[in-house]
């Protein structure tokens, strides 16, 4: 549907900062308080905005601000004049909402309708500051993010006391953002009750909203889908069973999702592995033959899932000289984008986990052990082949050295899968390559945690890949 209307009269700085301009003569009060040059006000009758779809609007915003984002992100923090909250929001929306992630496409439309001092806005400030603190390794920003987080919790508590607000899309989005904050800030899921508190709270909100409201609109369904994926990943990192209520919610949503949507299909299959692991751990399944049978069934389902990926999801292999240190075994794969690469790596890392479990339960079955070992080594090589496309200057026109902020985020999504590959592969060359690759992105991209994971690979390679995943912020830095 086409929307036609007159634009806001607000000055440009207020529009960019998403503030309500007071339109005072000569200069607005917001610009004076922030020590900004007020550019004056537009005549709303001189311009008509034609906004055809929300997706097109977001894409235009992302493209228009790309160069400005790059400049802002590469400017020395000490020289910026805007408040930390404004800077953090700018970086978060530029590089995370409109750059890396595919999961917060509803945020901007909800955010612009909410009051600037409300629970959603404060949740955005908390997670934005946490994100910027993580990007710049700035403890002072982390402390400020913590203050905004506590303020958001208080405002959320007030909102939950009002039935209309408690069941609103904005409130569910705020809770999901607070969970994102927790994943960025808290890296140990087994030592913190807050790791699961927000996603469990979001499930309670869904129950209060009821099935009809949960699936009533596109926005509501997108938020519920985000919750489903978030909770599944959180359960994996925490090592717990996926609750039955989540499986029921996923079933309700499935008729609104393309059954061949790769990410949705992958997360559904991951539930099977997580619950099988829980059954084995809790002693509900003890027969080795049954465990092996279920593991092999799961592996076949992932094989089928990967085989049925859309043609555009298949990569192109590029051969390079064996002397290129950033490439393992003289070739790498080019995929459509970082989202496709990430989902394919989820398939591969899950198959690694399945086949490692098959090895553990194979007993004296030498043939089965050999088969599982070969699968593990082959998948590990596939993962390593997916990494160089984001760092080699010749691979993509947008690749730079040092890495751009978006490049650094894309490389961040590679850390967990390449660690997992190096951890389980029997190829003696792979661990040194993984360590070298991680140290490279730490050096040229400022990705400090990559060096920490390289040290884990070097000195504590028995560390669980789920622990490393949580250490990296879980789903927080995923597309």
How many angstroms separate the first and last alpha carbons of the chain? Answer: 28
Same domain, 338 and 437: yes
Centre a 10 Å sphere on the Cβ of residue 273 and count the other Cβ atoms it contains. 22
pLDDT at 39 (0 to 100): 63
The verdict on residue 348 lying in a domain is yes
Backbone angles phi, psi at 424, to 5 degrees: -105, -15
Same domain, 99 and 197: yes
β-strand 3-5 against 49-51: which pairing, if any? antiparallel
Under 8 Å between Cβ of 431 and 381: no
Same domain, 235 and 321: no
pLDDT at 78 (0 to 100): 47
Q: Say what the pTM is.
A: 0.81
The verdict on residue 244 lying in a domain is yes
Average pLDDT per consecutive 10 residues, the chain (479 residues; last block may be shorter): 51 72 76 70 44 41 44 47 89 89 89 94 97 88 96 97 95 96 80 77 95 92 94 89 94 88 92 95 94 98 96 95 92 96 97 97 94 98 98 96 93 96 98 98 94 97 92 77
Same domain, 146 and 163: yes
The verdict on residue 1 lying in a domain is yes
Return d(Cα 282, Cα 262) in angstroms, integer. 31
pLDDT at 19 (0 to 100): 76
Same domain, 247 and 370: no
Any idea which residue has 């946490």 for tokens? 130
CATH number at residue 16: 4.10.240.10
Return d(Cα 228, Cα 242) in angstroms, integer. 10
CA distances from residue 358 to 282, 362, 366, 379, 461 in whole angstroms, order as listed: 18, 6, 12, 15, 20
Domain tally, the chain: 3
Domain final residue pick, 252, 285, 305: 252
Same domain, 177 and 153: yes
Helix (H, G, I), strand (E, B) or coil at 136: helix
Same domain, 91 and 197: yes
Centre a 10 Å sphere on the Cβ of residue 407 and count the other Cβ atoms it contains. 22
Same domain, 368 and 341: yes
Same domain, 290 and 434: yes
pLDDT at 192 (0 to 100): 54
Domain final residue pick, 201, 231, 252: 252
The verdict on residue 59 lying in a domain is no
State the maximum Cα–Cα separation within the chain, in Å, rounded to a whole number.
84
Return d(Cα 280, Cα 18) in angstroms, integer. 51
Same domain, 105 and 143: yes
pLDDT at 208 (0 to 100): 95
Same domain, 234 and 263: no
Q: Which H or E run includes 229?
A: helix 218-238
The tally of CA atoms less than 13 A away on the side-chain side of residue 380 is 25
The verdict on residue 115 lying in a domain is yes
Return d(Cα 139, Cα 149) in angstroms, integer. 15
Q: Which H or E run includes 434?
A: helix 430-445
DSSP characters over 56-106: HHHHHHHHHTHHHHHHHHHS-GGG--S-HHHHHHHHIIIIIIIII-SS-TT
Q: What share of the chain is helix, strand, coil (3-state, %, to 5)?
A: 65, 5, 30
By residue range, what is the domain housing residue 351?
Answer: 258-477
The verdict on residue 57 lying in a domain is no
Domain final residue pick, 252, 271, 305: 252
The verdict on residue 60 lying in a domain is no
Same domain, 175 and 90: yes
Structural tokens at position 259:
């059954």
Under 8 Å between Cβ of 186 and 476: no
């Amino acid at each position: 549907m086409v929307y036609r209307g007159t634009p806001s009269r607000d000055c440009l700085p207020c529009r960019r900062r998403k503030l309500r301009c007071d339109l005072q003569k000569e200069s607005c009060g917001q610009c004076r308080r922030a020590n900004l040059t007020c550019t004056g006000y537009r005549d709303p009758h001189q311009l008509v905005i034609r906004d055809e779809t929300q997706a097109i609007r977001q894409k235009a915003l992302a493209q228009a601000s790309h160069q400005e984002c790059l400049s802002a992100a590469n400017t020395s923090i000490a020289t910026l004049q805007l408040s930390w909250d404004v800077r953090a929001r700018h970086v978060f929306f530029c590089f995370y909402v409109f750059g890396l992630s595919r999961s917060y496409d509803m945020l901007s439309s909800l955010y612009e309708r909410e009051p600037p001092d409300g629970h959603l806005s404060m949740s955005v400030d908390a997670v934005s500051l946490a994100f910027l603190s993580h990007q710049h390794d700035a403890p002072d920003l982390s402390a400020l993010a913590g203050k905004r987080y506590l303020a958001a919790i208080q405002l959320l508590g007030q909102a939950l006391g009002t039935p209309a607000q408690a069941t609103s899309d904005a409130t569910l989005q705020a809770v999901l953002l607070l969970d994102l904050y927790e994943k960025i800030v808290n890296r140990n899921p087994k030592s913190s009750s807050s790791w699961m508190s927000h996603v469990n709270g979001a499930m309670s909100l869904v129950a209060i909203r009821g099935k009809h409201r949960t699936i009533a609109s596109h926005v509501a369904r997108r938020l519920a889908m985000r919750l489903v994926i978030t909770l599944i990943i959180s359960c994996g990192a925490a090592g717990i069973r996926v609750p039955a209520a989540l499986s029921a919610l996923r079933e309700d949503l499935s008729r609104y999702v393309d059954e061949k949507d790769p990410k949705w299909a992958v997360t559904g299959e991951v539930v099977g592995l997580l619950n099988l692991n829980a059954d084995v751990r809790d002693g509900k399944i003890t027969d080795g033959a049954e465990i092996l049978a279920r593991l092999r069934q799961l592996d076949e389902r992932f094989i089928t899932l990967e085989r049925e990926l859309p043609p555009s999801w298949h990569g192109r292999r590029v051969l390079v000289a064996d002397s290129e240190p950033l490439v393992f075994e003289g070739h790498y794969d080019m995929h459509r984008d970082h989202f496709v690469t990430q989902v394919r790596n989820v398939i591969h890392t899950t198959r690694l986990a399945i086949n490692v479990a098959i090895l553990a339960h194979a007993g004296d079955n030498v043939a089965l052990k050999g088969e599982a070992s070969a699968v593990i080594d082959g998948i590990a090589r596939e993962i390593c082949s997916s990494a160089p496309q984001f760092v080699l200057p010749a691979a993509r026109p947008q690749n730079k050295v040092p890495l751009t902020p978006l490049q650094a985020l894309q490389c961040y999504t590679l850390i967990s899968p390449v660690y997992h590959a190096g951890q389980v592969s029997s190829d003696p060359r792979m661990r040194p390559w993984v360590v070298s690759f991680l140290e490279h992105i730490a050096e040229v991209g400022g990705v400090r945690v990559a060096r920490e994971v390289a040290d884990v690979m070097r000195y504590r390679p028995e560390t669980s890949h789920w622990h490393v995943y949580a250490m990296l912020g879980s789903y927080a830095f995923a597309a």
